[in-house]
Chain A
């Protein structure tokens, strides 16, 4: 009996040892490990169950875009398009596409693929959840649905020349700044035979063929994905063999960077100001972000707080410097509108310096009865919300805090359950970037259905003359400040950790949801 037991134990140990020695790591492969703090969904860029920047960052690797943007849009570089120009008195944009662009299956990418993608988005039967930009093209209605195929404003002039015709004058760079990150080209030679109504059911989304810098290799759904360089990518490839995307908890960001398990974290390996000294003490090089484009604001539900004077009182009661000290320390500036500091649209005269007496006077004028308002926010913004609530209390405004997830916050603001919300946005140099958050023609959390606002947006959007545009934007921001539909808090930059093992990473470009992976180099 004992002998048999011994034999079993020996056999099991041998089997374990053999398995352990089985397939070891392939050390000749250059693997870049990248982490995401939020899991991605499907590969379909137009039916995402979440429009987060994380997913846009994944699509960017599989599917190509017209341009590469950096420094919050201050820099626009060629990608699928080599160059572009305005035509037809400003109502047309012509893109000259790279002649060498290919799909990962080797087929050529042509202007017809871009037109096909735009047509698919505009198709009335399309099952996609977004039409991205088709509402600004001719031949569509205000929702971007195709009305007239003949006049549809996407056209292939030849295999490498793409033309968009807009309903109104539109600067091509404005178009790119606003829509580039969400307009990704799909292959007509594969999806052309699929009915738009059945597009979601296509097996294409399980193993997509793209013309981006990477090709899909494998994945454990929602946990890990392996990508390889696209051998046909027209901008070339780095010296790496595999790009491994992994989902990790945000609390582990710093640890995995310090231990070297992760080379890059999505959106630029940023760390909090509090973590900076720890990272540096542990040998990491931490850099101050080149741009301060993370915009934090208080959303106000106009139905919940219809009196403009109370909204202004909320604004006057806030000490933005104290908020910055608590949330972003020395990498943020107070925000006076939605335009960034480094743009020509920035207007410091719009400052609402903290003035408790003025806030109280406005409240008296509005006959504020001490009503309790509710502010909803995600748990990571708790410190900001607590400070705001305290500051409002000092002015005599009663606000209770509710911690929810982002979906609940937006849904609650829309349905009127919450009066206030805390939201973060990634600003760009596009003059109307913030309008994307609250389009006038659709549902929006703040219920702003104001004709004057819509008129401003319209005029700014179609202004081609730079001086005229700057003046209009400043006027518009003044109007927004008077109405106080939202309260700008600050623009923050980020501290980001410079990878030690991989070079040529443009950390600031990650914030625009594009990564120059074709230039990444494993040291």
Chain B
């Protein structure tokens, strides 16, 4: 197990190196730089000042040299200074990581908590009205554009019904938990709604397969209630592929949450990333990329460990 973990972490580090190198190279190929955003192309700066700032930012170096410099600094714990905000990247990310983790974590938790029972019930009575309704619900969640869902939810719940605020993480001057919860309701609902579809589908198909197994009939013959049969015996076998699906959603979730964060003015790293790209803020883009890569790789390692704990047939080699 320890050896396995050691190897996984090594391979994760290699993956991170490759990911950051690719992103850095792609960024260098993008039209326009931070200097262009500063007004370098619009005539704001003289040519001499343009060149001086380009040099100060290191933008006159070849891409491999810039990446090498960035990597060396990162290994020393220095993520650089954001071009736009003028403060250390680590500081900006530290401010914005918590809100994102809260939003994504709560959204995913609700997706699992709701998607799991809906999927199980759909699999328990395939072809029933419940099954068809849940399929429709899952399909809607998977296919409806997130942008449209956000606007629709805001229109009905914030504007028409005046039930929830439509922006921000809290009311100014109100740091209470209740206020946070009220602000979380809409964005979390959207994330949960859009992620639940995949989980319902996955749970349904995993459970359908397991529910046909003979050992469940044996359990029933022994006099166990249907709930006990499903929860104690059926679900245990089905949970591995469901967990895989839930974890596999994390990378996509980080990306799609950016849209939700942007529209709801939620101060997360997704919205930060959008602004960073718009401003060609390379140190910040790389910092956020690194954080997302670490989260995704850690989620994968966690998934591997959880898999082994849940399914005794899996061994670590």
Contacts and interface: CB of A to CB of B under 8 A. Distances in A.
A129 B53 contact: yes
B42 A445 contact: yes
Contact of A21 (B83, B178, B271): B178
Nearest to A260: B162
Contacts of B31: 404, 407-408, 411-412, 415, 417
A50 B86 contact: no
A414 B176 contact: no
A277 interface: no
Pick from B50, B147, B155, B166 the residue with the most CB of A within 10 Å. Answer: B166
Contact of A129 (B49, B267, B279): B49
A43 B47 CA distance: 25
A412 B32 contact: yes
A407 B37 contact: yes
Interface string A383-414: 00000000000000000000011111011111
A445 B176 contact: no
Interface stretch (B65-73, B106-114, B167-175, B225-233): B167-175
A220 B261 CA distance: 14
A31 B181 CA distance: 21
A249 B187 CA distance: 14
A314 to B, nearest CB: 22
Contact of B38 (A16, A21, A48, A404): A48
B48 A143 contact: yes
A255 B32 contact: no
A224 B95 CA distance: 11
Contacts of B166: 252, 255-256, 259, 261
A130 interface: yes
A49 B42 contact: no
Contact of A439 (B38, B43, B83, B87): B43
B38 A224 contact: no
Nearest to A125: B52
Contacts of B176: 19-24
A47 interface: yes
A242 B172 contact: yes
B86 A410 contact: no
Given A20-B181, A49-B281, A442-B47, A33 B32 contact: no
Interface in A123-138: 127, 129-131, 135
Contact of B175 (A23, A42, A44): A23
Nearest to B42: A410
Nearest to B172: A244
Given A223-B96, A242-B172, A251 B41 contact: no
Contacts of B37: 49-50, 406-407
A409 to B, nearest CB: 8
Mostly helix, strand, loop or mixed at chain A's interface? Answer: loop
B68 to A, nearest CB: 24
B249 interface: no
B278 interface: yes
B265 A51 contact: no
Contact of A41 (B84, B154, B168): B84
B173 A31 contact: yes
B151 interface: yes
B183 to A, nearest CB: 11
A38 B276 CA distance: 11
Nearest to A413: B41
B239 interface: no
A220 B95 contact: yes
A408 B278 CA distance: 9
A247 interface: yes
Contact of A200 (B86, B151, B281): B86
Interface in B120-170: 147, 151, 154-155, 158-159, 162, 165-168
A247 B151 CA distance: 16
A442 B175 contact: no
A411 B43 contact: no
B167 A252 contact: yes
Interface in A434-459: 436-439, 441-445
Nearest to A282: B159
Contact of A42 (B33, B87, B267): B87
Contact of A130 (B41, B45, B56, B172): B45
Interface in B212-270: 262-263, 265, 267
B280 interface: yes
B46 A144 contact: yes
B31 to A, nearest CB: 4
Given A220-B95, A408-B30, A414-B41, A49 B173 contact: no
> Most chain-B CB neighbours within 10 Å: which of A221, A248, A256?
A221
A42 B92 CA distance: 12
Nearest to A48: B38
B302 interface: no
A470 interface: no
B176 to A, nearest CB: 5
Contact of B172 (A33, A41, A405): A33
A175 interface: no
Given A259-B158, A410-B41, A224 B267 contact: yes
A467 interface: no
Nearest to B281: A49
Nearest to A55: B84
Sorted nearest first, the 5 A-B pairs with minimum C-beta distance are: A42-B86, A20-B178, A143-B46, A223-B267, A411-B32
Interface of A: 16, 19-26, 29, 31, 33, 35, 38-39, 41-44, 47-51, 127, 129-131, 135, 142-145, 200, 205-206, 220-224, 226, 242, 244, 246-249, 251-252, 255-256, 258-259, 261-262, 282, 404-408, 410-415, 417, 436-439, 441-445
Interface of B: 30-34, 36-50, 53, 56, 83-87, 91-92, 95-96, 147, 151, 154-155, 158-159, 162, 165-168, 171-179, 181, 262-263, 265, 267, 271-272, 275, 278-281
